[in-house]
Amino acid sequence: MTVLLNVKDLRAYYGQVQALHGLTFSLNEGSLTTLLGANGAGKTTTLRAICNMVRSTGGIEFDGKPLNNRSTESIVRYGIAHVPQGRGTFTTMTVEENLQLGAITRKDNAGIVSDIERMYAHFPVLKQRHTQQAGTLSGGEQQMLAVARALMLRPRLMLLDEPSFGLAPLVVRDLFGILGKINREDKVSILVVEQNAQLALELADQAYVIETGRIVMSGNAKDIANNEEIRKSYLGY
Amino acid sequence: MELFTNQVLAGIATGAIYACMALAVVMIYQAIDHLNFAQGEMAMFSTFISWQLMQWGLSYWVAFLITLVLSFVAGIAIERILFKPLAKAPVLTNVAGFIALFAIINSSAGLIWDFTIKQYPTPFGSAPFLGSQLISTHQAGMIGVTVLLLLGLYFFFQYTRIGLAMRAAASVPESARLVGINTSWMIALGWGMATAIGSIAGMLIAPVVFLEPNMMGGVLIYGFAAAVLGGLTSPFGAVVGGFLVGIFENLAGTYIPGVGNELKLPIALALIISVLVVKPAGLFGRHIVKRV
């Protein structure tokens, strides 16, 4: 199995405050890996550091190429799609425009048109609302839209920041089902950050647990889910 | 009744210019969240350039097009050199930057072309439009050019990829960068377009107010009034605001006793204050529909 994303000794800073203290982890091509941890552990910061949205030091390699010091907008061109916390919806634009924006770096117009149709097949509710202002969608629908927007890039790696946040449990089930399907069928590698550890571990194959900016546990998602001690001390269920 | 129609049509003609200025102001406001106080001076300088080109023997429309291109490039240059470094600076620093720009452009124009009032030609002529006494051909031309410009801009923002990218960069910059849009260049592009739009306004109004370094002072205040009335977050609102302010200005000057030419400007300022007190978002300002 080839390593797609390799993060070595990652340290990130917000002003003078250090948020990550030397994080090392990797993600295999085709895998669905989850990053777990409590509030403030550094999960979001890790994703933001990968896309160079916070100041960081250390090595980040994607498919063998270093990503350090590349601007956020150029990292997208490697095929990394980032669904940020809070979904990052373009609320004043229509659903369809949101999807087009996901593919703004692509030049193949025919492919974009057919991909929009593919997204509507994945997420029928988006088709019903394609001319509607995206801000009028419900939280779950906006999360679907955010995932669809990211997929419009035809990414090799998708970074998802707390996709379950603020959603009803049934909607979360739905969404995670779709993520699994995308991972298996479209061969998109996924790195998902979650507070809902139980659900994320059911879905993922690999898992890392972060505490205060360091990896404290890593391994097969099933093993971690089955280890009662880890569950009780780090994941809280 | 004829006086009324006449004043309304004249109001629409000057309103077209206010609409252009308001649109330029709103475009930059959307991109960087600051009001460009130097917008009028930039337009004035562009107008002088077109005048100079005509003095050198170029025809009106050639000078017009060259000025458009030069203004576009100059707008980008001003953003890159002066305002990109100020992007994270406090509001007052930016305000100081705009005032500096205002003073520099105003004095440079005076230095190069002096402060005497100059005639500026109109390509449309000043005969009555279609034999009607209601409106002159130049006024009709002002309206026509503005309408064409607005249609072009609408098409650009609604149906081109780069227009879509510019709108995205202005509305949610962080998400725009995450889909691969170079938001910094979108801001520069916005400056270029705003400067070019301003130059059109300057060149169209110059035959009416005559060419001199302070020609755009009043026009810009009306442009601000229009932008505030329509809503600083809405380009469409800015355009509607421009036409409304133009009509309002003329009708107030005609029908309210005591409001002659001298009091027209205070009326614009009164309008700005009233809108800010009564409906701060303006007529078409964004109220974001949000469901949580």
What does the pLDDT read at residue B31?
86
Q: Measure CB to CB from residue B291 to each of A84, A102, A138 and give the nearest one.
A: A138
What does the pLDDT read at residue B252?
86
Cα separation, A65 vs A59, in Å, equals 10
Question: What global pTM score does this model have?
Answer: 0.88
B260 lies in some domain = no
- Flag if B168 and A104 touch (Cβ within 8 Å): yes
Tokens of B77: 């240059």
- Flag if A88 and B175 touch (Cβ within 8 Å): yes
Q: Do residues B227 and B29 touch, judged by C-beta distance below 8 A?
A: yes
Over residues B112-121, the pLDDT tens digits come to 999 999 999 9
Indicate the number of domains in chain B. Answer: 1
CATH of the domain at A188: 3.40.50.300
Q: Tell me the pairing of strands A214-220 and A32-36.
A: unpaired
Candidates B159, B174, B175: best to mutate against A (most CBs of A within 10 A) is B175
Cβ within 8 Å of residue A153, ≥6 positions away: A76, A79, A81, A102, A103, A105, A106, B179, B180
What does the pLDDT read at residue B157?
92
Over residues B178-204, the pLDDT tens digits come to 999 999 999 999 999 999 999 999 999
- DSSP annotation string for A13-33: EETTEEEEEEEEEEEETT-EE
- Flag if B174 and A84 touch (Cβ within 8 Å): yes
The CA distances from residue B2 to A70, A202, B5, B10, B231, in Å, are 65, 78, 5, 12, 32
Q: What is the ipTM of this complex?
A: 0.90
- pLDDT higher than 60, residue B216: yes
Range with the poorest average pLDDT among A165-174, B58-67, B258-267? B258-267
Q: Which domain holds residue B8?
A: 2-216
- pLDDT higher than 80, residue B258: no
Q: Comparing B74 with A164, which gets the higher pLDDT?
A: B74
- Flag if A101 and B164 touch (Cβ within 8 Å): yes
Candidates A71, A73, A137: best to mutate against B (most CBs of B within 10 A) is A73
Q: Tell me the pairing of strands A189-194 and A32-36.
A: parallel
CA angle, A210 then A212 then A213, to 5°: 70
A108 lies in some domain = no
A97 lies in some domain = no
A201 lies in some domain = yes
Q: Tell me the pairing of strands A32-36 and A65-66.
A: unpaired
A111: left (phi over 0), alpha (psi -120 to 50) or beta: alpha
- pLDDT higher than 90, residue A74: yes
- Backbone torsions φ then ψ of B126, nearest 5 degrees: -125, 20
Q: Which domain holds residue A196?
A: 3-91+155-235
Residue (of B20, B25, B44) closest to B36 by Cα position? B25
A130 lies in some domain = no
Residue (of B71, B27, B24) closest to B45 by Cα position? B71
B50 lies in some domain = yes
Cα separation, B16 vs B242, in Å, equals 6
What confidence tier does B33 reach under pLDDT thresholds 50, 70, 90? confident
Cβ within 8 Å of residue B8, ≥6 positions away: B247, B250, B251
- Flag if A153 and B180 touch (Cβ within 8 Å): yes
CB atoms under 10 Å from CB of B277, counted, come to: 8
Over residues A88-129, the pLDDT tens digits come to 999 999 999 999 999 999 999 999 999 999 999 989 999 999
CA angle, A39 then A40 then A44, to 5°: 95
What does the pLDDT read at residue B283?
87
Tokens of B92: 């007052």
Residues in A touching B161 (Cβ below 8 Å): 100, 104
Contact residues of B toward A, CB < 8 A:
161, 164-165, 167-168, 171-172, 174-183, 286, 288-292
What does the pLDDT read at residue A76?
94
- DSSP annotation string for chain B: -HHHHHHHHHHHHHHHHHHHHHHHHHHHHHHHSS--TTHHHHHHHHHHHHHHHHHTT--HHHHHHHHHHHHHHHHHHHIIIIISTTTTS-HHHHHHHHHHHHHHHHHHHHHHH-SS-B----SS-SSBGGG-TTSBHHHHHHHHHHHHHHHHHHHHHHHSHHHHHHHHHHH-HHHHHHTT--HHHHHHHHHHHHHHHHHHHHHHHHHHH-BSTTTTHHHHHHHHHHHHHH-TT-HHHHHHHHHHHHHHHHHHHHHSTT--STTHHHHHHHHHHHHHHH-TT-SS--------
A150 lies in some domain = no
A129 lies in some domain = no
User: How much of chain B exceeds pLDDT 70, in percent?
Assistant: 97
- Flag if A73 and B182 touch (Cβ within 8 Å): yes
- pLDDT higher than 90, residue B268: no
Q: Do residues B26 and B190 touch, judged by C-beta distance below 8 A?
A: no
> Please, what is the average pLDDT of chain B?
90
A164 lies in some domain = yes
What does the pLDDT read at residue B287?
57
Indicate the number of domains in chain A. Answer: 1
